[in-house]
Amino acid sequence: MDGSGNNLEVLIAKLEKEGEDKLNKLKETRKLTIESLTNLMQTGEQEFIQKMGRPMTYSEMRAIYG
């Protein structure tokens, strides 16, 4: 194994934590809208593609963003 599975797990955990933190910030500032939530997810998706070289699978997206 080349360790890419471990990198994937680390990235998923990182994006999940960042997403939760950003979501809480949006809730606290009362700026939670469909657009802000979509932007949060798109930012995570862009980072995932940049680091993994491919789009997220459905199950990865669900693991990160529920």
- How many folded domains does the chain comprise? 1
66 — pLDDT class (breaks 50, 70, 90): confident
**pLDDT reported for residue 47:** 96
Q: Check residue 53 and report its DSSP letter.
A: S
**pLDDT reported for residue 6:** 86
| 26 token code pair | 């949006």
How far apart (Å, rounded) are the C-alpha atoms in residues 16 and 63? Answer: 8
Q: Above 50 in pLDDT, residue 20?
A: yes
How far apart (Å, rounded) are the C-alpha atoms in residues 35 and 50? Answer: 22
Mean pLDDT of the chain: 92
Q: What is the average pLDDT across 33-44?
A: 96
4 — pLDDT class (breaks 50, 70, 90): low
